[in-house]
Amino acid sequence: MNAIILGIESSCDDTSAAVIKNGYLLSNVIASQAVHEAYGGVVPELASRAHQQNIVPVVHEALRRAGVNKEDLSAVAFTRGPGLMGSLLVGVSFAKGFARSLNIPLIDVNHLTGHVLAHFIKVEGEENAQPDFPFLCLLVSGGNSQIILVKAYNDMEILGQTIDDAAGEAIDKCSKVMGLGYPGGPIIDKLARKGNPKAFTFSKPHIPGLDYSFSGLKTSFLYSLRNWMKDDPQFIERHKEDLAASLEATIVNILMDKLRKAAKQYGIKQVAVAGGVSANTGLRNAFYDHAQRFHWQVFIPKFSYTTDNAAMIAITGYYKYLDKDFCPIDAPAYSRVTLK
């Protein structure tokens, strides 16, 4: 029996739908919302409205590209949370209506679990190594920075997480004060390739255990900039590559220090990375470097599965479908961070 899962993702500012058949990806359509660029961040109400406009054409296109009729679907999986409530509600309501009309099961997916299980997306004709259980996953995005112990598809434990800002949030905010634009991550990444990572030193947090903190770094960056600009109004313009490289290096060091600690503490050498910030070149290089130095086996997803996408929701839905782990029609969306 074929298991054909439609995945729907609408937690933030990307409307996405994907189809997975027996664990293999058939389509993954993403409509990104450019409307937020002018505001330097995601405007929730505008995001909800854009989801509302995008959801039907995006699902239609995902089914078309997959060559699948809606009547062939086995289940509909959707992001239930965490995320922006208004955005989530569009995907949640659509998924419920669609599943009910087709009389097929509904599967709720935690967005964070989806990021982790993106490592298990298979594509016909493409080789990709998949981690064995248990493994560690560093989940770094605009909203989260967590170290997760992944014991099974349906069994994960958060070992540490940020107590304030997420890594991506810190990068985005620092980029904003430098006047570089939104989202800052890809811009900082590009500039950092041309800069000296040792040019500037920013304060690193001292947080016990496996938790992270990035708000102090952001403040230290801001104050340093302010002082330098007093003496030289052209400071940012003249040093933006070095500033970007030093900021990126500091964040990558903070992330890797704790990850090394977790790997040692749990005796695990299989280490994966997930979430939007895993697109970062400096972080990817740090993973390859750790693979060599500490004999880690590292897993880095394809760029298209690092940022928000429905393929990761569909693959999580696929494993929940095999477990017959369905969700009732009255399950509400949730905005806060949980992992279940």
Q: Is 307 in the site for ligand KG4 (CB under 6 A)?
A: yes
> What is the rounded distance in angstroms from the CA atom of residue 200 to the CA atom of residue 323?
51
> What is the rounded distance in angstroms from the CA atom of residue 311 to the CA atom of residue 26?
9
Q: Is 7 in the site for ligand KG4 (CB under 6 A)?
A: no
Geometric angle at alpha carbon 106, from 1 and 63, rounded to 5°: 65
H-helix segments, the chain: 44-66, 85-102, 111-117, 167-177, 184-192, 215-231, 235-266, 281-294, 311-322
Bridge partners, residue 155, by sequence: 152
Q: Is 309 in the site for ligand KG4 (CB under 6 A)?
A: no
Which of positions 80-99 make contact with ligand KG4 (CB under 6 A)? none
CA 245 to each of CA 37, 112, 179, 275, 332: distance values in angstroms, whole numbers, following the listed order: 23, 28, 16, 20, 42
Q: Is 277 in the site for ligand KG4 (CB under 6 A)?
A: yes
Binding residues for ligand KG4, how many (CB under 6 A)?
Answer: 19
Candidates 280, 300, 318, 333: give the one binding ligand KG4 (CB under 6 A): 280
Q: How far is Cα of residue 56 from the mean position of the Cα atoms in its chain?
A: 23
Q: Is 172 in the site for ligand KG4 (CB under 6 A)?
A: yes
Q: Is 9 in the site for ligand KG4 (CB under 6 A)?
A: no
Q: Is 275 in the site for ligand KG4 (CB under 6 A)?
A: yes
User: 5, 22 in Cβ contact below 8 A?
Assistant: no
Burial class (CB in 10 A: 0-12, 13-18, 19+), 267: exposed
Candidates 27, 79, 110, 141: give the one binding ligand KG4 (CB under 6 A): 141
Q: Is 185 in the site for ligand KG4 (CB under 6 A)?
A: yes
Candidates 82, 91, 142, 160: give the one binding ligand KG4 (CB under 6 A): 142
Candidates 105, 168, 195, 301: give the one binding ligand KG4 (CB under 6 A): 168
Nearest distance from residue 201's CB to ligand KG4, in Å?
20
Nearest distance from residue 182's CB to ligand KG4, in Å?
8
Q: Which parts of this chain interact with ligand KG4 (CB under 6 A)? A: 12, 141-143, 168, 171-172, 183-186, 189, 275-277, 279-280, 307-308
